[in-house]
């Protein structure tokens, strides 16, 4: 069972397509069930495309803020610590 934490840790490999096929399948299943990770995955993929020059427009600052906010929120929830 892949958790959000696992997903975020493996996200780079997942997007690079270097992850183990079995793990990729697990990660793919996770994003079909977890809207948060889906958004992070989708946005990160677009960001990577921008960095590689595959898309002309840079990532809007707003979207970046949204991802960082989601990541912070996620980490806080998963560690079971509330500030």
Q: Considering the complex, state which of residue 33 and residue 81 has its C-beta at the smaller distance from Zn ion.
A: 33
d(CA 20, CA 35): 23
Strands (E), 1-83: none
Nearer to Zn ion, 34 or 59 (CB): 34
Which one of the spans 19-27, 36-44, 46-54, 56-64 is the region binding Zn ion (CB under 5 A)?
36-44
Candidates 15, 23, 34, 39: give the one binding Zn ion (CB under 5 A). 34
Residues 83 and 63: their CA atoms lie apart, in Å, by 24
Burial label, 68 (beta-carbon count in 10 A; 0-12, 13-18, 19+):
exposed
Q: Which stretch binds Zn ion (CB under 5 A): 15-23, 28-36, 46-54, 59-67?
A: 28-36
Residue 37 in the binding site for Zn ion (CB under 5 A): yes
């Amino acid at each position: 069972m892949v958790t959000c934490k696992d997903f975020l840790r493996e996200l780079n490999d997942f997007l690079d397509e270097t992850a183990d096929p079995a793990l990729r399948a697990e990660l793919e299943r996770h994003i079909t069930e977890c809207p948060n990770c889906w958004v992070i995955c989708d946005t990160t993929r677009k960001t990577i495309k921008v960095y590689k020059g595959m898309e002309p427009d840079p990532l809007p600052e707003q979207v970046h803020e949204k991802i960082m906010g989601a990541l912070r929120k996620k980490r806080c929830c998963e560690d079971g610590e509330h500030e």
